[in-house]
A and B are shown apart, each in its own frame.
Chain A
Amino acid sequence: MPGGPTGASAHIQSPSMDSLPTSRREFIVGTTAALLSGRMTRAQRPSLTAQQVADRIRASVGVPWRDQTVDGFKAGDPSTIVTGITTTVMATVDVLRRAAAAGQNFIVTQEPVFYANNDDPGNRAKDPVYLAKKALIDEHRLVVWRFSEHWNARQPNEAARALAATLRWTGADVPDAAQTYRIPETTLSALVAILRSRLPLRGGQRVVGQPGMRLRTVYLSPGTTSLASAVTNLQKADVILSGEPREWEAIPYTLDTWSAERGKGLIAIGRLVSEGPSAQACATWIRSVLPEVRVEFIPAADPYWGVNV
């Protein structure tokens, strides 16, 4: 599982480190001491601003920062002192409240905050739901920072690797086929049952392909799946596990493989469910580059329920 031992880094700023196993305590102290030239004690916590946290992440991500990007500050004041970091797929009001209650005022989100990809509220600028969210952010002095394009540009793909870990497929990678995993031979309907048991699904598992289709290889495509990705990856994989493929692109392409007598499968589990493990893995990674800050992952629920489920 990505995410590591839950709360390991939370102990850095807990009232007492005495209850920690010695080895871990030494590890944590050693790590932070190395980073802070030995000057840090618990009474002298580093004061990092949101801007400094963002700068550290940008400098560490290993991907050149793009001029045109959806990533960056979406709400709040970058000069705010960070009390803790929350990672999430989507910074809903519920996630923001939970982050505030936990004293983690810097929220790293993979998806937009204000109901549009560019976070421009547009026609909703005077909408009470939008205004209530803005007020919540102001009241708790939260800072929301989007980290999607650059996190997802890391290689190997973090989101696929994290999803594979959640599915307990780590180590089953197919050589020379990125994000593709070989599993014990099964059927499409049996794979759906496996996914249901291992993912927090409420509604969004929709399937293209005959339920009895036999399969061995699955291409993991959290988020969306472009046509080019479907065309390329179905050459090696039997099935694509996607978040939200568009229904005029990867979906009809997969459907047409059956008429061409090369039947392939596609399972759409929804964007949030598909990216949940990625946001958790992101928390683990941020801890590694900001060990002096408490970092926690807050899951966002599947927003859908299925009528036909």
Chain B
Amino acid sequence: MTAQQVVERIQKKLQELKINWRAQTVDTFKAGLPETEVRAIATTGMATFDVLHRAATAGRNFVITHEPTFYNHLDQTADLETDPIYQAKQRFIKDNNLVVFRFHDHAHALQPDPLVAGSARMLGWTQYASPNEPRIYVLPPTTLRELAIDVSAKLKGRAIRVAGDPEMKVTRVALGPGYGVPALTTSIDVAVGGETAESGGNAEYILDAAADGQKKGMILLGHMMSEDWGMREVAEWLGPLVPEVTVDWIPAGEPFTMAK
């Protein structure tokens, strides 16, 4: 079975789910040859150089990544051709006969979004999902401080940041994937996601709400601490579609070594 055939299985399954393959999408082959014979598949939050090393060592020559391989959303490489880091990564991919495909736009189109469901499962929130409001979780009452400590302990993130009064009461949480941190509104206590712009959004809103006597909060997990888990969900979804080959998950993991 070739990498191209694996992608065709994915496309066929999506068609059954009435999710059309987009004409404009970042979900394309990023490196390697689509006609490469697949020995085994690894999904990951991001095809970092370290993930590629681990995939090659484990005999997973087809890597399906959620985020880019070459450090920009469109994986444009023209400006990187002379860069030694890029060159080393490309050489490693070639020498090890790896193939990298991105599964981003269509992964988010699945219901439920596996990138959100994966975080919720890691956090132990699945049972608290609101039945009729996507991404909303109604948690047993807690404080922002307690919630942040619990989140940090469950994900083992090393660089989780919080905005808002640590003692604020929390029940209604909006959980978003990656850069898609939900915008805070009157009906949400705390937004949780990967990363977001510090200005022009929730951080400013939280400060202004506090000045107006309203308590709002945000927990930023970091992009990989938000979406890496969801690619394990994708591995479990993909496995039955390609029974001929092994599919498992190689976590990209926390990129930050410390936060002080």
In chain B, positions 200-214 with a C-beta closer than 8 Å to chain A are 200-209, 211-212, 214
Q: How far is the CA of A208 from the CA of B255 in the complex (A)?
A: 6
User: What is the distance, in angstroms, from B233's C-beta to the closest C-beta of chain A?
Assistant: 20
Which A residues are in CB contact (< 8 Å) with B46?
248, 252
Count of CB-CB pairs between chains A and B under 8 Å: 193
B169 within 8 A of A: no
A255-B48, A260-B89, A308-B160 known; A93 and B72 CB under 8 Å? Answer: no
Residue from B186, B203, B256, B260 in contact with A196 in the complex, judged by beta carbons closer than 8 Å: B260
Q: How far is B198's CA from A246's CA once the two chains are assembled, in angstroms?
A: 11
B166 within 8 A of A: yes
How many of B's residues come within 8 Å of A, CB to CB? 62
Is the pair A248, B72 in contact by a Cβ cutoff of 8 Å?
yes
**B208 engages A93 (CB within 8 Å):** yes
Kindly provide the distance from the CB of B146 to the nearest chain A CB, expressed in whole angstroms: 11
CA distance A127 to B206 in the complex (A): 13
Q: Mark B230-260, 1 if CB is under 8 A from A, else 0.
A: 0000000000000000000000000111111
Q: Which residues of B from 66 to 101 have beta carbons under 8 Å from A?
A: 67-68, 71-73, 79-80, 83-85, 88-89
Quote the shortest CB–CB distance from B133 to chain A (angstroms): 15
Please give the residue numbers on chain B whose beta carbons come within 8 Å of chain A beta carbons, in ascending order. Answer: 46, 48-50, 52-53, 67-68, 71-73, 79-80, 83-85, 88-89, 148-149, 151-152, 157-163, 166, 179, 183, 185-186, 194-195, 197-209, 211-212, 214, 220, 222-224, 255-260
Which residue of chain B lies nearest to A113 when distances are taken between CB atoms in the complex? Answer: B204
> Please, which residue of chain A has its CB at the minimum distance from the CB of B220?
A304
Q: Which residues of chain A are within 8 angstroms of B84 by Cβ–Cβ distance?
A: 260, 262
Residues on the A chain within 8 Å of B185, using CB:
123-124, 127
Decide if B212 touches A304 in the complex (CB within 8 Å).
no
Q: Could you tell me if B207 and A92 are in contact, using CB atoms closer than 8 angstroms? A: yes
In the complex, A213→B123 CA distance in Å? 33
When distances are taken between beta carbons in the complex, the residues of chain A under 8 Å from B186 are 127-128
Measured as residues with beta carbon below 8 angstroms from the partner, the interface class of chain A is: 35 or more
Residues on B with C-beta less than 8 A from A117 are: 197, 200
Q: Is A169 an interface residue (CB 8 A)?
A: no
Residues in A207-259 with C-beta less than 8 Å from chain B:
207-211, 227-228, 230-231, 243-244, 246-253, 255-259
